Amino acid sequence: MPHLKGQGLRDGLQVLQGPGDPSIPDPSPVLEGHEDELRHRLEKVAQAPSESTDTDSEAPSFTMPDKSTKSSPATVLGVPHVSVSDASPLSPPSPENNRDPSPQPHSYTPLPLKFHTPSYSLDLVPSTSPEEKAVPPTPPEQHSHLSHLIRSTRDASHHKGLSRLLEHDRYSPDRSSGQDTPTPQEHHHPHNVIRPLVKAIMAFEKGRKFSASTSVHRKRKMSTLVEKEGAFGPALNTLYLGISAVFADDHTAVVALAIHDTVYLIDFSVKHIVLDDALKLGDDLIADYIINEVEKYEHENFAKFIGAGLPTTLKYMSPNLCSRLWLELDIVPIVMRPDDEHKEKTFWDVKRVDEQADSMARKCIMNFGPSLVPILQVGWRGIVQTDAAFRAHLTTVQNHKDTCSHATWETMLTYAKKLRANKIKIAFFSSTPQGGGVALMRHALVRFARLMGVDLTWYVPKPRPGVFRITKNVHNILQGVSHPDQRISPEEKQAIIDWIAENANRYWFSEGGPLRSPEEGGADVVVIDDPQMPGLIPMIKKITPDRPVLYRSHIQIRSDLVAKAGSPQADIWDFLWSNIKLADMFISHPIPMFVPHTVPRDKVVYFPATTDWLDGLNKHLNAWDTGYYGHIYNMACHAQRM
């Protein structure tokens, strides 16, 4: 490690950003006007009476020197490995610099004192005593002590350790007199001397505003479009947001925002937030700050944020942030664990808060496809992992409670509590995880069940293109919209049977699968959606005859055509009913004409289609986001020459 020197406090601070560590910004602007105060505190501790410090398990022990002996600030301050020199700035030590001018006790010339860390050293106040130059180097493990103090701003655990170290036996001003009167215990822990330095570096990281801005020409052009065509006029730039925060044990937070397009970092900001009053009142100041900043940035730069990535720690420290991003700004919040991989492979804990935010933005982008919606995730055994593998946290329980009456909510809670208390497992099976009303309903139901703690899962088979076309024809025939002569051949019917059996035996009836018996960990209740999957019903009943199996019919069935013997509808319904009749319940859309005459009335239950009032299709949009989607719609119409 190069032995850097500086001239005075400012030069010493500037060498922090030397060529070996360009990531550390120049802290000197933050320290304007504070040099004398820092030197004053250094000299105060240097003149402190001789006392011994208690040994702390988390920090090196320090011993104050006897006043009768000459001692360097290195010994007085008790910092790891302090070397002193009066050499010229950034010059190596030389023999002629080792003269002894015999300074008076406790009289120090304001020249650099050097703090050594693994990657850099810092000169603050020197001494010219030759004895002090012979201070033996400290073991390497102690070299990083100051480095850890400075880098402690990068995560909550380090930040907490820093606060504990700096606040222990802290320098306590006499508030009543208005004078800075040190308490006796301050001399026990000379770390108080470097507190202003560490706080200054921390302050630099906390205070950075967005600096990038849309060009004046684009702003003028977009503003003109808004005036002429309204909110649907301007084409907004689509961006992604990364958010991170570190928290101190003194109820403060440092929040970083990083803005990305799909390739580059566009801008970032860092803000220090005091949480004291908010914690007492239950307010979410972090969410308030982020929502205001993001909305302001969108309007000033004609942008639309698609998604926002944030770590799990921030979600729990700011419980309203995700739902407010989704419901107020139409931003999909993607919550990620920094240590998704093996713990020893992550560098999250050593990143600065702005680096963490940038990482969250980049990882957030990976969850979206070309259509700017979260990529559909289907996991092992065909389990549908809704909301980007459960990373998109869109709503809270309170959000859903606000959408219904008190009586409705209490009724729902009654059933949810019973399901949780009895540890009931519910499994849904349908043919596809996207593309229709059934998928829309199941995504909403799985999302809500997870919020309420109900064990509900949804499975789909592995797709087979040839079978998909057959099942689509089945739909069209039952609805009476196919060609009058179109039928499903015996070979096509067998292809459906083989497809269902192969998926069931491979994924769902195998060990650990959802269709094993409940005693072996399988589902307690099974729901089969629509006419693609009824082949599962006889297989389930063969293994577990007493397990409830419900068949849900979502589509219109032309019961009048089914009743005609020899019709294509009668033929395909007979094929389906041979399996459906083994179900314990037939749930139909609440129109009696949708139920064929062969279904016993004691098995029929009417239930309408339901959806989530807070999902992307139904939630309220503000004027800005409405304009964004309106512009997309207008462009699609223009492309079709409509």
Q: pLDDT at position 39, please?
A: 56
Give residue 217's pLDDT.
Answer: 76
Q: What is the pLDDT of residues 410-435, one digit of tens each?
A: 999 999 999 999 999 999 999 999 98
Looking at residue 309, what is its pLDDT?
97
Q: What is the pLDDT of residue 346?
A: 63
Token reading at 450? 């997870």
| 383-413 pLDDT, tens digit each | 999 999 999 999 999 999 999 999 999 999 9
pLDDT score of 404 = 95
Q: Which residues contact 69 (CB under 8 A, 6 or more apart)?
A: none
Class of domain 376-402+404-612: alpha beta
Alpha helices by DSSP H, listed for 216-346, are 216-229, 276-281, 285-301, 312-317, 321-329
pLDDT at 344: 53
| Residue 390 region by backbone torsions, left for phi larger than 0, else alpha for psi between -120 and 50, else beta | left
Query: Residue 110's pLDDT is what?
Result: 39
**pLDDT given at position 342:** 52
The radius of gyration of the chain's CA atoms, rounded to the nearest angstrom, is 34
> What is the structure's pLDDT at 611?
87
Amino acid, res. 468: F
Residue identified by tokens 């002996």 is 69
- CATH, domain 208-368+617-642, list 3.30.420, 2.60.40, 2.30.30, 2.60.60: 3.30.420
**pLDDT, tens digit, for every residue of 116-173?**
333 333 333 333 444 444 444 444 444 343 344 334 434 443 444 434 433 433 333 3
* Within this chain, domains 208-368+617-642 and 376-402+404-612 share the same CATH topology: no
> Which pLDDT does position 283 carry in this prediction?
83
Dump pLDDT digits (tens) for 498-534.
999 999 999 999 999 999 999 999 999 999 998 999 9
pLDDT less than 50: residues of the chain: 1-31, 42, 45-46, 50-201, 203-206, 341
Per the DSSP assignment, residues forming a β-bridge with 254 are 246, 272
Helix (H, G, I), strand (E, B) or coil at 519: helix
pTM reported for the whole predicted model: 0.68
The Cα 549–Cα 584 span in angstroms is 6
CA distance 180 to 193: 14
DSSP 131-168: GGGGPPPPPHHHHTHHHHHHHGGGSHHHHHHHHHHHHT
What is the sign of the dihedral through the CA atoms of 187, 190, 196 and 202?
negative
**Region of residue 441 (left: phi > 0; alpha: psi -120 to 50; beta: else):** alpha
Contact between 308 and 325 under an 8 Å Cβ cutoff? The reply is yes
What is the spatial distance between Cα 330 and Cα 322, in angstroms, rounded to a whole number? Answer: 10
Amino acid at 202: M
**Residue 292 confidence (pLDDT):** 96
**Rounded (5°) CA angle 233-234-237:** 150
Q: Where are the domains of the chain?
A: 8-206, 208-368+617-642, 376-402+404-612
d(CA 377, CA 386): 7
Please list, in sequence order, all residues whose beta carbon lies within 8 angstroms of the beta carbon of residue 535, skipping any fewer than 6 positions away.
496, 497, 500, 501, 579
| C-alpha–C-alpha distance, residues 357 and 536, integer Å | 47
The reported pLDDT for the residue numbered 473 is: 93
pLDDT confidence of residue 436: 82
Q: In this predicted structure, what is the pLDDT of residue 227?
A: 76
Tokens of 444: 């909403």
